[in-house]
Structure 1
Amino acid sequence: MISVLLVDDHELVRAGIRRILEDVKGIKVVGEAQTGEDAVKWCRSNNVDIVLMDMNMPGIGGLEATRKILRYSPDIKVIMLTIHTENPLPAKVMQAGASGYLSKGAAPQEVINAIRAIASGQRYIGADIARQMALSQLEPEADTPLSSLSERELQIMLMITKGLKVNEIAETLNLSPKTVNSYRYRMFSKLNISGDVELTHLAIRHGIVTSEKLLNSD
């Protein structure tokens, strides 16, 4: 039996995925979490095979939660299931140790196939996302400016776009405010921008966050 933890800050999304999986032979949803922090705590106290993880949630978010889970429980497999399909996020997530990356627009059968494939030791990337990643390798000039950002910089960028202040980000990530500001200014330099508003507009323009998500972030 493949055990699955659902991690998403929207109860409706978790309920929908649970409904998809509950009648599937050999797969069982054993828990739910609505933040990255909750997912990390759950995985430290319980056994699970697969974590279906959202990217953009309150707190540390899906990328940092993936890193923390795998640091303490390397046998757990994480599948990022998110609306964010544009480069460079899929590549950064896989580099962070995730075993799979799927769009929330994926068909239910593809989610089931991904769980089974990853439980058997394979990696799985949705066909549309894999195509984008392959094209970016063939046409590097098509990469977005955000491709130059590190995993940590992308994580802090996502938190900034949710309206978190430097002190809040520092507390959440257990960093000093000075370190967070260093990451911010490094991002501004790489992207040739001057502030958080421009950073947010750039993230929206390249599909890393959506304006709809920002409206629902509170």
Structure 2
Amino acid sequence: MTEQTIKVVIVDDHQVVIDGFMARLQLEPDIDVIGTASNGIEALEVISQLDPDVILMDISMPIMNGIDATAQIKKQYPDAKVLMLTMHDNREYIMKVMQVGAMGYMLKEISAEKMVQAIKTVNQGSTYFCETTSQTIFTQAATPIAAPEVNPLSRREEGILKHVAQGLSSKQIAKALDISYRTVETHRQNIKHKLDLHSTAELAKYALEKGLVD
């Protein structure tokens, strides 16, 4: 492996997808897949151990999705270069991805040639959006957007609510966000009080209705 080799980690919850991406990239002499993960939590562990140049990140995954994982990665490793790989071609996902700091967005159906181009582009510090994604951004940009509702929750509370809705326990949330179990429990009680909700099921329903989870 030369100094110019781009070290890549692939994060996806389907092994067949990981195998397919690895098969595409193993023919590239200047790209080396050094690790894989099947969800956002695993991704954080793998990244901390291997220090990749580029992270190919799926969006829809169990335990921790790609958007939340990217937010955590950028918080812990501000210089990390995350390139989203997904089947979702809609503006809402694209905007969320940009907000959490990903540097690119492309569909899984992308050609091997374009995938390599995307990895190299992002590795150089530039952003990359595949042609389909770019068209989606521009064609849907003119769609009127309703004024957002006032959100009673803080950013931290909203993040914890997302994890609750995804089925994580307070212990798992504490580990994912690198905060104490007691802090998570305090936030959960505050969330219930602010929203006048009394069970985990009600919290999950609220998160789904507000579009906080996929």
Superposition TM-score tier, normalisation by shorter sequence:
0.7 to 0.9
Alignment TM-score, normalising by the size of structure 1? 0.71
The answer to whether residue 57 in structure 2 is matched with residue 49 in structure 1 is no
Further displaced range: 172-181 or 116-125: 172-181
Between Structure 1 and Structure 2, whose CA radius of gyration is higher?
Answer: 2
Q: Which residue of 1 aligns with 2:82?
A: 78
Deviation at 1:75, TM superposition (A): 2.2
1:176 partner amino acid:
V
Task: Find runs of 4+ consecutive structure 1 residues off by over 6 angstroms.
Answer: 181-187
Q: In structure 2, what is the Cα distance between the partners aligned to 1:165 and 1:31? A: 25
Which of the residues 94, 98, 103 maps onto 1:90? Answer: 94
User: Whole-Å Cα distance in 2 between the matches of residues 90 and 155 of structure 1?
Assistant: 22
Q: Distance in 1 between matches of 2:92 and 2:32?
A: 32
Percentage of matched positions with identical amino acids: 27
Q: Counterpart amino acid of 1:109?
A: E
The answer to whether residue 184 in structure 2 is matched with residue 176 in structure 1 is yes
Q: In the alignment, what sits opposite 1:40?
A: 44
Q: Distance in 1 between matches of 2:81 and 2:114?
A: 17
2:103 aligned residue (82, 95, 99): 99
The count of aligned residue pairs is 196
Contiguous gaps of at least 5 residues in structure 1 = 188-193, 210-218
Higher helix share: 1
Q: Shift in Å at residue 83 of structure 1?
A: 1.6
User: Matched residues in 1 for 2:189 and 2:131: separation?
Assistant: 37
Shift of 1:135: 2.4
Does the 8 Å CA contact 2:6/2:54 hold for their aligned counterparts? Answer: yes
What SS does the aligned partner of 2:70 have? helix
Write out per-residue CA displacement over residues 47-106 of structure 1, whole angstroms, 9 at most, x where no aligned residue: 210000111212122112112222222222000101222121111111111001111122
Cα distance, 1:186 vs structure 2: 9.0
Distance 1:196-1:104 versus aligned 2 partners, 3 A rule? same
TM-score by length of 2: 0.72
Q: Deviations over 1:26-50 (max 9, x none)?
A: 1111111112111111212222100
CA distance 1:115–1:196, shift in 2 (3 Å): same
Cα RMSD over matched residues? 3.5
* Gap change, CA 1:154 and 1:69, over 3 Å in 2: closer
User: Shift of residue 185 of structure 1?
Assistant: 10
Conserved in 2, the CA contact under 8 Å of 1:101 and 1:124? yes
